[in-house]
Each structure stands twice: as C-alpha cells, then as structure tokens.
Amino acid sequence: MKSSSDLLRQVRAAVAEVSPQEADALRAGGAVLVDVREQVEWDAGYIPGAVHVPRSYLEQNIESHVPDRAASVVLYCASGVRSAYGAATLAQLGYTNVSSMAGGIDAWRRLGLAVVTPTALSAAQQQRYSRHLLIPEVGTAGQARLLESRVLIVGAGGLGSPAALYLAAAGVGTLGIVDFDIVEASNLQRQVLHTTGRIGEKKVESARQTIGALNPDVKVVAHDEMLVADNVERIIDGYEVILDGTDTFETRYLLNDASVAAGIPVVHASVFRFEGQLTTFLPYDGPCYRCLYPTPPPPELAPGCSVAGVLGVVPGIMGLLQANEVLKLVLGIGEPLIGRLLLFDALEGSFSELRLERDPACPACGDAARAARERGETPNLPIYSTAAPFTMERIS
C-alpha cells in the first residue's frame, strides 16, 4: 500500500516544478497563475493577476478560466503540495504546459514578492452576492470594487428607476440620485422605484426608501435639486460614472459639458414611444453628446414622454442596458459602447448599431477645448434653452 508521502513523491516526479522567481518570470511572460487554495486563504492575500480556482473545483472550472490547453499555466497553493496534485490533474485533462510553484505562496512571501489583499466580504455579503462571486469576471475582487464604487444617476424617472434598482442590487456602494421632482401617479407606469403610497413625496426620498429596503449595503446620496450650471460641478464631483437619465436637452448638454471637463464617463440613453438610443461617452476617448448632436431640436420636434407617451418597458430596457454599461465600466470588463450608438426598436424587437465619431472641432471635447482645459481655461460653450437650429450644408 502507498503512503501519502509516496504518492506525493510520485506526483512531484511527474510534474514540472518552478521556483517563485521562475513563476514570477513566467507570469511576466503571460503565463496564467492559478491559485488552488480555499476561499479563506485567497481572501488573506494572493499573487497579483492570479485567478482563483480552488483545488476542489479545479477539474470542473479550469476550462472557463484557461480555455487554451497549450497555455502556460503555473499552479500555486500555500506550500506546493495541492498545486502539485492540481498540476497532475491538469496534465490528465490535456494541459501541456503546466507547472507547480514549489514552496507555494509562503515561499513567494518569504522572498518579498508582491501579494494583493482583497477587500474581504462579510458572510452576509458572500451570500447576497454569491451569483456574482461565481463569475470569474466579477469574483470577490470585482464585488469589492462594486462595493467601493460611486455612481451618479441623474433623474429618478423612467431610465433611472430600473438602473437604480439593479445597480443597488449589484452592490454599487454609493448611489447618488439627482432629482427635484415629486412622485406623480402618471410616473408609476414605468418609474418602478416609486410606489402608489409615495405619490406626492420627493422622488429622491422615495428612491432612498426603495433602495434601502433592497440592499442596506448601498449608501444613497440624495441630491434634491435641479441640475443647473451653478451646481453641476459640485454635484458630479467624486463620482466615477454618471448615468444620464435626464429628459430635457438643457440638462443633457449641461451634464455632458461638466462631465467632459471633470473626465467622468457618462452612460447616455433616451427614449421615444417604442424606441431607444444608448451610448457611452468616455471623455476624449470617444465622442461626447455634442459630437453626436451638436444642437438640440426645438421642443415641438422632440417631445418628451409627458407629451408623446412611451411604452413603459422601453425606458425599463434602456435603463437596464445603461446599468449594464455602468457595471462594465466599474469592473473594467467587456467592451463599453464607446463610439457606438445602440438603437432599440420595441415593436420590431430589434437592435441596430451605428458608428459614432469624436468631432475634433467639438466645442466641448474637441482638440481646442481640451487644450484650453489643459491651460486651466474654461471653454466657452453655448447653453441651450430654446431651439437653435444649426445647419449642416445646403441641400442642392
């Protein structure tokens, strides 16, 4: 009969072992480091860039983390035993370039090499966000990132309501909500943050109650004021992403200009009856709202929901797509809709995508405006309150 140390000797002889210094060099060369320890060990600190696949889930989960069987993979654990067994298992699964880090993270630490300590989640948070934690692209580090993130929602209306609910549920740590309105009966067909019992109450207070009941992890900052030129800089300060759920062009241009100046990305959507438009503005990396629409339409050509009506689910769908963009930006994953305008047609059940360009002559984000800001000056931008039809070229 084989003893456990016999088995370990046999496994070690069959797998490639590398020193921590060699593992570090492999990592710099693009190898994937896989931490096979348990959750509590990972939470106490791991090697930067490593992915976490506990030994007990290695066979089941390795393919979603490392789909390429020829990829260079270095496994580590605390001392190099579990990672040796893990490496033998991966060889059986057909991985051809696997090694185990001798001495584990204990040896790595003794050499003074870098270790990351993730923000630990409480037991309640581990339960609440467990479906996020199971996704490699989110995981504990991503959830911790969400919990420390600060997102501003401008407008607790048709777009802002569904977005606020899902961002709160996702554990965005601080949700700022800007709205000066009160809840009306006609809002309730789509503004799902509010309730019949709160008709007549401030929307920001209604939002605070709903969000508080959904997720006590979220701190709601209520901005019970209309976004205007005098307060926009103060209100947006300190937020990392802004969700534009406004319903007037004045506010939209104001928010655009201030967020470009502050370097804060804005996830924009707007709706009309059965249609929606959605894009993400990342200052100077892509177009801004003025690049997309240099001037606003007069009110009679662009009626809002209170005049034209809207199918309630349309802002619901667009608001959730905005929330999706916000989560991608906060987590640094996926392809944000920068320079892409997504159109939704509820009647057709179709999405279309258009390509957008940054206008180098844009008064808000163009080259001259950027250079002016870098010199410490404030570009002089038109403030729109009424129709100001600019023309492109004459139709011959």
Q: Interface residues for another protein in 338-377 (CB under 8 A)?
A: 343, 352-357, 359
- Using CB under 8 A as the criterion, what x/- string covers residues 151-170 for binding another protein? ----x-xxxx----------
Rounded to 5 degrees, φ, ψ at 349 are 65, 40
| Active site annotation includes 362 | no
How far is the C-alpha of 363 from the C-alpha of 84, rounded, in Å?
A: 60
Q: Which of 78, 302, 320, 338 binds another protein (CB under 8 A)?
A: 302
The yes or no reply on residue 325 touching another protein (CB under 8 A) is no
Q: Which of 147, 305, 330, 342 binds another protein (CB under 8 A)?
A: 305
The yes or no reply on residue 13 touching another protein (CB under 8 A) is no
The yes or no reply on residue 265 touching another protein (CB under 8 A) is no
Helices 203-214 and 160-170: crossing angle, nearest 10°? 30
Q: Report the nearest approach of another protein to the CB of residue 173 (Å).
A: 25
Question: Which residue, 74 or 305, has its beta carbon nearer to another protein?
Answer: 305
Instruction: Indicate if the alpha-carbon torsion angle 253, 259, 263, 267 is positive or negative.
Output: negative
How far is the C-alpha of 369 from the C-alpha of 380, rounded, in Å?
A: 9
Q: Report the nearest approach of another protein to the CB of residue 348 (Å).
A: 8
Active-site residue, selected from the candidate residues 77, 288, 291, 305: 305
Total residue count of the chain as it appears in this document: 396
- Using CB under 8 A as the criterion, what x/- string covers residues 201-240 for binding another protein? ----------------------------------------
The 3-state DSSP class for residue 155 equals coil
Query: In 3D, which of 307, 268, 273 has the Cα closest to residue 290?
Result: 268
Only segment of 20-28, 112-120, 210-218, 243-251 that touches another protein (CB under 8 A): 243-251
DSSP codes of every residue in 296-356: PPPGGGS--HHHH-B-THHHHHHHHHHHHHHHHHHHT-S---BTEEEEEETTTTEEEEEE-
- Kind plus residue range of the DSSP H or E element containing 219: strand 219-223
Q: How far is CA 126 from CA 39, 141, 214, 302, 311, in A?
A: 11, 12, 16, 46, 37
Question: Which residue, 200 or 297, has its beta carbon nearer to another protein?
Answer: 297
Only segment of 67-75, 132-140, 199-207, 246-254 that touches another protein (CB under 8 A): 246-254
How many Å is the Cα radius of gyration of the chain? 26
Q: Which residues bind another protein (CB under 8 A)?
A: 155, 157-160, 244-249, 269-275, 277, 292-297, 299, 301-305, 308, 310, 315, 343, 352-357, 359, 389-396
Catalytic residues: 305
